[in-house]
Structure 1
């Protein structure tokens, strides 16, 4: 069995000194898309920020390619091979597309690969990032993560504010990132789109994992997803439902 590129064991993360995520264990395999789902407020972004070093990890272990990183500064985690695509689509707005890629590039990063994935960006390589459309800015943020030569890429709600056609285009690219051998950990509001591209899924509720299993077990099952998100009677389906509502309270 291939060792996970990213492994969390019993991770708890605080936000402004308030416990938000508790006892989360998960794995992300190289060359695969691992999906994290949950309702708003479930702790998904806080979990991602904890992995990236932007929120304090209260307890537990985060291993990147077998090495514990939970005590490292964010830039050291990035150097170790962790890329983070945050919600805000942050770019250097006054720099051109190509300059944005250059400042994010590591010694092993390849800008040509970004242009191959996103021909739209190559056409706009001399345009300031501030003039790009929302979808193009998201492509650029993904490209900046890619040129850092990551082992793992965290992607948090890249579809926010984008048209469905653009979201599908980006979701296809997420699959291509995995095809390059990168481990992708994906948070996405459009659950079934994420489940279509993913291999393994985790569902968070109230900061804890309530489901871990193959994406195919949840794909198209909106009723089950709703119960996992918000609680309800115990489920009888075959997946591993880690807790029902009574166990979480």
Structure 2
């Protein structure tokens, strides 16, 4: 569904990614892991179209979208949830959703995925907990009807007792079968439980990859310890 093929990218003359290839199968879920500064967010910015490539290609559902702007990629089915539980804090939860769609059936659909938000529709987003704001951010993106969903550190800044709640949401999304997911995540166990395969990114290069699941935990930790 999404392929970054031989991507080299960076900022100005500073190269951050070097010949990186990542594939997300249609209906599958893939995790990108690595230490801070490894290039994970830069990779996602390339995938979304916020950062141009120096070389390489970005393919979405088989089509070359390397030169397309972010809004054109969204129109082709790409959804992106950046770091930071972004919302419009002075607006209610419902108003945040209605910025994307006023279709009540569509809103009801995402609320079925995030039932905790149903009782918070009249509350200002700025008064929600970090976990609730993250659910709202994902719900708002799902309203665009993506076939390819990119999540950047969905548990960042979330209290430990709420991480399990976010994990259950991501696991449900990756289990749908009609939605491909690319997940960048620092919690290795969570990332491997939620996805079918993984890549480890270090210093802008892929240093390890393989099938996900609990059995991959030792291999990933070893790769990240290098």
Q: TM over 0.5, yes or no?
A: yes
Alpha-carbon shift at residue 175 of structure 1 (Å): 2.0
CA distance in 2, matches of 1:99, 1:216: 38
Q: Which residue is equivalent to 1:196?
A: 193
Task: Identify the match of residue 101 of structure 1 among 97, 100, 106.
Answer: 97
Give the TM-score normalised by structure 2.
0.92
Q: Which residue is equivalent to 1:66?
A: 62
Q: Please, which moves more after superposition, 198-207 or 114-123?
A: 114-123
Q: 1:8 to 1:213 in 2, by over 3 A?
A: same
CA distance in 2, matches of 1:37, 1:106: 36
Q: Please, which moves more after superposition, 13-22 or 153-162?
A: 13-22
Alpha-carbon shift at residue 142 of structure 1 (Å): 0.6
CA distance in 2, matches of 1:16, 1:185: 26
Deviations 1:173-209 (A, max 9, x none): 1122123311110011100111011101011111011
Deviations 1:143-172 (A, max 9, x none): 011111001111111111112232121112
1:147 aligns with 2:143: yes
Q: Which residue is equivalent to 2:220?
A: 225
CA contact (8 A) 1:11 1:23 kept: yes
Number of residue-to-residue matches in the alignment: 225
Alpha-carbon shift at residue 97 of structure 1 (Å): 1.0
Q: 1:175 to 1:58 in 2, by over 3 A?
A: same
Q: Which residue is equivalent to 1:121?
A: 117
Q: Which residue is equivalent to 1:80?
A: 76
Task: Map 1:1-249 onto structure 2 (within 5 A).
Answer: 5-105=1-101, 110-180=106-176, 181-216=178-213, 219-221=216-218, 224-231=219-226
Alpha-carbon shift at residue 217 of structure 1 (Å): 7.5
Alpha-carbon shift at residue 230 of structure 1 (Å): 4.3
Q: Give the secondary-structure state (helix, strand or coil) at the position aligned to 1:219.
A: helix
Measured on the aligned residues, the alpha-carbon RMSD in Å equals: 2.0
CA contact (8 A) 1:30 1:178 kept: no
Alpha-carbon shift at residue 106 of structure 1 (Å): 9.0
